[in-house]
Structure 1
Amino acid sequence: MQYVCDECGHTATKWLGNCPNCGSWHTFKEFKVERKPASEKEHKGKVEGLEESPPPQKLEDIASHAKDRFMSHIQELDRVLGGGFVSGSFVLIGGDPGIGKSTLTLQIGKANPELRILYCAGEESAGQIRQRAKRLGVDSANFYVYTDTNIDNVLKEARKMNPDLLIVDSIQTVYRTELTSMAGSIQQVKECAALLQQLAKKQDITTLVIGHVTKEGSIAGPRVLEHMVDTVLQFEGDSNYNYRMLRSLKNRFGPAQEVGVFEMKESGLVDVLNPSQLFLSDYDSSVSGNAVICSIEGSRSLLVEVQALTTPSNYGTPQRTANGFDHRRLSLLLAVLEKRGGYQFSGQDVYLNIAGGLKVNDPAADLGVICALVSSLLDKSISSNIAFLGEVGLGGEIRAVNKVDQRLGEIQKLGFEKALIPCASAPERRYDLQLMEASNMMEAIKKPFSKS
């Protein structure tokens, strides 16, 4: 028996509370060691066509592909991939159940009917896929469905057909008969992923694999799976909203943390090309506690509404609730407001919400968040047509943020008239905006409540 860390794949001969490799706690799981076939039976464990590798080549002698990339013709997906699929790449896409992973992969056949696609389904029958494809309007003559979950058969069909794109839905359902463990186990996932990686690199077949997620939201299986692939895409979104965010957590061929925005409709996922306008569609500046921040997600600027609500606490310990914003960051900002600004939140329940179901991790959201909190505490609305960007330090100082010109360009495009920015973040060019600069928290908080 061996014990394997769920986070990083580190193995040990006994159970450990703390992983010595990644430092995670209580992540070691027990599994039975699979024995390799005996030498006289080794040929049974090999996959035809994947045993041999080309000899070493000089870098200057390696021929580049005439067609290094091909487009899915789904704008937001191509944006997140860095300009389309790279030929021979290995892509992993994860997300909560029902968020739209299978829907998006099926829609590739609709958006680009010229692509030769082999869809290997382990969770649905061919008839079920046909029904869903009909609802989504997928009617491509080059879209093939294969429902076998034996990885050897999948590889054999892929090599015979040589598709432009191989889709495996999902990696937890395929298995190899040489291993006695169940499909979805750590060793099955690692073995099947390694074979699919070899197929992508040696046969130059672009492979897209769908992965399940754990209850914490991370991709299920050993962490080594994410290291093996070229690109990791993560679907984010609240089931109560129709909006979906596709984020690249890792990308060897493009920018990481790039974000694509979709809207889920009856006809499938639809590109949202102007997400800022979508997230601000219900913004009401006359209500206290509402503010607009400019966040950078990947390479794009997004204007998002922050909603704060403070009420007197009826319990000994005040509640602190954040939706779409880091809970620990909220506690830090409240501590700075109390220590440096003298605003008393110790007897207040505090609720913070990022409207639209978006998750914001950009430090530039700090300034808008503290102004929204003070606005709710004082029950005074923030003056209209103003957007915020700036990081708040522990000393109450307003620190500079990156990509100021890009942020201000988005603020101006959406019709805002004012922007509250740090003094250290001077833009390189002029804008049709009233720029209000602040160097510290107390100076910044006074300005949005002024009617001038």
Structure 2
Amino acid sequence: MRVKTGYCCQECGHQSARWMGRCPGCGAWNSMVEEILPAGGTSGAKKSSQLQEPLQLTEIPLFKEERISTGMKELDRVLGGGIVPGSLILLGGEPGIGKSTLLLQVAFFIGERQKDVLYISGEESMQQVRLRAQRLNALSPKVLILAENDVDRVERCIKELKPSLVIIDSVQTIFKENLSSSPGSVGQVRECSAQLMRLAKGTGVAVFLVGHVTKDGSIAGPKVLEHMVDAVLYFEGDRRQAFRLLRGVKNRYGSTNEIGIFDMCGTGLQEVANPSALFMQHWQVQVPGSVIVPTIEGSRPLLVEVQALVCSSGFGVPRRMAAGVDYNRVALIIAVLEKRLGFRLGKCDIYINAVGGVKIDEPAVDLGIAIAITSSFHDVAVSQQLAVVGEIGLTGEVRPVAAVDKRLVEAGKMGFRKTIIPKANLPQVYNGETEAIGVKTVAEAVEIVFKGLRGDNNEGR
């Protein structure tokens, strides 16, 4: 028996028997989404026959939270210690970034611990999955493969097998037969995800959903998909680079401040024990425009090389580009250097790059960018034993940053003997292998790094 469906506006809730480009209720465009209608003829969830009594918060029983280890410390770190049974986890990333590779390695590790894992392949045949598993040395009899797209059949299979983990690759290929819309549409993704969420909570089976991303980098489908799941993970990185970053943007069972770092090799993804060495492996020659910045990703410190290139502009309007750092903050730093230090950058093209394809979104990198621009502008190299960290204000002051002790420890480990930090952070610094030099302003930092260099002396530049 075919279930009756209708269309509902996601903005105002107006219902219609057919799809319309513009909602007659609120006038929003492309807001009508297909939904399943119950027997009563109105959309919405079925009412429960039993009334649940509210409980006092202190009377709710607590259960010990058991977690399933994935075999990868980096992934366990992002998840908050492992996979929680009954959780629904969404993993997104660009095509070819390594999502399926990561989850197939996780399936192999859990399968080797004599726990069944069900891998639902909606995009590849079972033979293709077998070939990939063989290449990764991830063959296990406990990993069960099913090539299926119907969510109802997937649910029946999960209830029969009762695995410890289910991997669905991908959620955009799963469909519900009762809906007439094509797989990957808003209605299909929402209904299938809601059904899988109820299944995970009801059976205690952990479910991984692989999600495609749109052109702007967000996960394809309705935004309610991210609200529905327990954790949202993004797999980031440049496909032309070997390393990958796994970042948690939502986690009901742990912190969202953690990241995992992996290295893509011929046998799959390998964990990176020393990420600072990975990002600095080609930093050997002392050249103008290169500065090392201790940054914080989650709870771990990383040393990242920031490069700047300043050259005369061949056009009337100078070109400014930033890769791996915030363009708006770069523009702010350039304005501060022009106003407070007298650097004539108005006729210069300026290019900023965080080496290795890493993305830095914290303001503590400001002072490093300013020193890199100054170094390239004057064609004077920064000492190889110096690291720089600090946030810059519009008046040219250097503001304090968080976790300075961790940054200094990491800089000392990697052989840096001096680190310029905000002067306000000096009382709480770690007394380790690197010397902490406190500065109050950008001009003071430039004075220390370049020993008396002033922007006012560059009239002919």
> How does 1:297-308 map onto structure 2 within 5 Å?
297-308=297-308
**Which residue is equivalent to 2:280?**
280
Answer whether contact 2:409 2:430 (CA < 8 A) is retained: no
CA drift of 1:30 comes to: 4.9
Answer whether contact 1:34 1:180 (CA < 8 A) is retained: no
Cα deviation 1:62-88 (Å, max 9, x = unaligned):
555456211101111111111111121
**Which residue is equivalent to 1:431?**
432
The one-letter amino acid of 2:76's match is D
**Which residue is equivalent to 2:448?**
447
CA drift of 1:12 comes to: 6.4
Answer whether contact 1:2 1:12 (CA < 8 A) is retained: no
**1:262 aligns to what SS in structure 2?**
strand
- Distance, in Å, in 2 between the alignment partners of 1:62 and 1:421 is 48
> How does 1:116-155 map onto structure 2 within 5 Å?
116-155=116-155
The one-letter amino acid of 1:70's match is I
> How does 1:409-428 map onto structure 2 within 5 Å?
409-426=409-426, 427-428=428-429
Answer whether contact 1:417 1:434 (CA < 8 A) is retained: yes
Answer whether contact 2:150 2:177 (CA < 8 A) is retained: yes
The alpha-carbon distance between structure 1 residues 432 and 399, as it changes in their structure 2 partners (threshold 3 A), is same
The one-letter amino acid of 1:443's match is E
**1:310 aligns to what SS in structure 2?**
strand
The one-letter amino acid of 1:83's match is G
Answer whether contact 1:248 1:259 (CA < 8 A) is retained: yes
- The range that moved more, 30-39 or 312-321, is 30-39
Identity %: 42
> How does 1:11-410 map onto structure 2 within 5 Å?
28-31=29-32, 33-34=34-35, 36-39=37-40, 58=55, 64-66=62-64, 68-112=66-110, 113-114=112-113, 115-284=115-284, 286-410=286-410
Cα deviation 1:396-415 (Å, max 9, x = unaligned):
10000011111111111111
The alpha-carbon distance between structure 1 residues 405 and 135, as it changes in their structure 2 partners (threshold 3 A), is same
- Distance, in Å, in 2 between the alignment partners of 1:205 and 1:53 is 25
Answer whether contact 2:93 2:236 (CA < 8 A) is retained: yes
Which segments of 5 or more consecutive residues in structure 2 lack a partner in the other structure? 1-5, 15-19, 453-461
The one-letter amino acid of 2:310's match is T
The one-letter amino acid of 1:449's match is F
- The range that moved more, 110-119 or 128-137, is 110-119
The one-letter amino acid of 1:87's match is P
**Which residue is equivalent to 2:17?**
none
CA drift of 1:383 comes to: 1.3
- Distance, in Å, in 2 between the alignment partners of 1:267 and 1:11 is 50
- Distance, in Å, in 2 between the alignment partners of 1:401 and 1:2 is 50
- Distance, in Å, in 2 between the alignment partners of 1:54 and 1:152 is 28
- Distance, in Å, in 2 between the alignment partners of 1:54 and 1:74 is 43
CA drift of 1:373 comes to: 0.5
The one-letter amino acid of 2:446's match is I
**Which residue is equivalent to 2:3?**
none
CA drift of 1:178 comes to: 1.4
**Which residue is equivalent to 2:456?**
none
Answer whether contact 2:11 2:31 (CA < 8 A) is retained: no
CA drift of 1:179 comes to: 1.1
Answer whether contact 2:409 2:434 (CA < 8 A) is retained: no
CA drift of 1:372 comes to: 0.2
- The range that moved more, 384-393 or 52-61, is 52-61
**Which residue is equivalent to 1:23?**
none
- Distance, in Å, in 2 between the alignment partners of 1:142 and 1:448 is 59
**2:248 aligns to what SS in structure 1?**
strand
CA drift of 1:52 comes to: 8.8
CA drift of 1:29 comes to: 2.6
- Distance, in Å, in 2 between the alignment partners of 1:313 and 1:325 is 22
The alpha-carbon distance between structure 1 residues 228 and 60, as it changes in their structure 2 partners (threshold 3 A), is same
CA drift of 1:247 comes to: 0.3
**1:29 aligns to what SS in structure 2?**
coil
Cα deviation 1:104-146 (Å, max 9, x = unaligned):
0000123332232111110001110001011011122211111
The alpha-carbon distance between structure 1 residues 3 and 54, as it changes in their structure 2 partners (threshold 3 A), is closer
The one-letter amino acid of 1:331's match is A
- Distance, in Å, in 2 between the alignment partners of 1:223 and 1:184 is 13
- Distance, in Å, in 2 between the alignment partners of 1:128 and 1:61 is 51
CA drift of 1:38 comes to: 3.3
**2:30 aligns to what SS in structure 1?**
strand
- Distance, in Å, in 2 between the alignment partners of 1:428 and 1:347 is 40
- Distance, in Å, in 2 between the alignment partners of 1:3 and 1:370 is 52
- Distance, in Å, in 2 between the alignment partners of 1:57 and 1:166 is 33
The alpha-carbon distance between structure 1 residues 16 and 312, as it changes in their structure 2 partners (threshold 3 A), is farther
- Distance, in Å, in 2 between the alignment partners of 1:138 and 1:125 is 17
**2:173 aligns to what SS in structure 1?**
coil
Cα deviation 1:410-444 (Å, max 9, x = unaligned):
11111110000000112244222221110011001
- The range that moved more, 287-296 or 84-93, is 84-93
CA drift of 1:284 comes to: 3.4
Answer whether contact 2:33 2:186 (CA < 8 A) is retained: no
Q: Which of the pair has more CA radius of gyration?
A: 2
- The range that moved more, 407-416 or 29-38, is 29-38
Answer whether contact 1:250 1:257 (CA < 8 A) is retained: no
The alpha-carbon distance between structure 1 residues 62 and 118, as it changes in their structure 2 partners (threshold 3 A), is farther
Answer whether contact 1:2 1:30 (CA < 8 A) is retained: no
- Distance, in Å, in 1 between the alignment partners of 2:429 and 2:420 is 16
The one-letter amino acid of 1:442's match is A
Answer whether contact 1:95 1:236 (CA < 8 A) is retained: yes
CA drift of 1:10 comes to: 3.8
CA drift of 1:55 comes to: 5.1
TM-score, normalising length: structure 2:
0.88
Cα deviation 1:230-272 (Å, max 9, x = unaligned):
1110011112211110000111111113111111111111101
The one-letter amino acid of 1:260's match is G
Cα deviation 1:362-391 (Å, max 9, x = unaligned):
111111110000000000000121111110
CA drift of 1:326 comes to: 1.0
Which segments of 5 or more consecutive residues in structure 1 lack a partner in the other structure? 21-26
